[in-house]
Structures are given as C-alpha cells and as structure tokens.
Amino acid sequence: STVCFFQRGQLWTSCSDSDELCLWHCKDLTKPFLRVQLQNYTGVNCMIKVKNQIWVGCSGPSPDQCRRSGKIYIVDTESHSVEKELMAHTDSVQALCSAEGRYVLSGSACQDGKIAIWKVE
C-alpha cells in the first residue's frame, strides 16, 4: 500500500515495502524529488504532520530477527532530515494521531496491541 501526505505544496510519499520517503515539489515540477532514507526499517505504514515535523510509523525486524518491531521516525519538514528515531512497539506501528499538537499517540499491530503517548518537542 502507499502512504501519502500533502503539506505546503509538497507531496510526501512512501510504500509499505519501502525504506525511504519521497518528497515531490508540486508547485515547481522542475525541481527534482528528494529521498529521505529511513535506516534499518522497511515498511512505512502511516504518516502525520505535527508542527514542522512529519512523524512516520514503520515496521521492521526485531533485534532477534524473529518478528516485527515498530519504530517512529521524526522528519524535519524544512531540512528534510531525520531528527529522531523512537523505538515504539514490539510490533509494527499502524496508526499515529496528534493530540492538540502537543502529543502524538501511536498504535501498534496485534503482537504488541498497545498505545504509546509521545511528547512533541
């Protein structure tokens, strides 16, 4: 599946089997698209914009390689770089929700089945 997010004339895209985000400049199609690499994870499941950040919920291998684990990448919308990586869940991150721009809630798949609350900085 494909995940898309439109923000200030920029289209952020990724796929559930991809380890990168692609950023398209919709207002100026002569600009080349940019790629933001997400280290060690393959699978973008969800994205949400909070302030000047894109929060990206991913899935990837667990440290023991036996099952999936979930990580959240926080990407700066100006520099287009990963600011922070959060080890979120023991299964893939399936949903992200912003609470008044101050907190982000993340929900995981059935192996973990938990919700985590993160403070936005």
26-65 pLDDT, tens per residue? 999 899 999 999 987 778 999 999 999 999 999 877 666 6
Task: Break the chain into its structural domains and give their ranges.
Answer: 2-119
2-119: CATH topology is Methylamine Dehydrogenase; Chain H (2.130.10)
- In the block, which residue shows the tokens 């280290």? 39
Q: How much is the pTM? A: 0.87
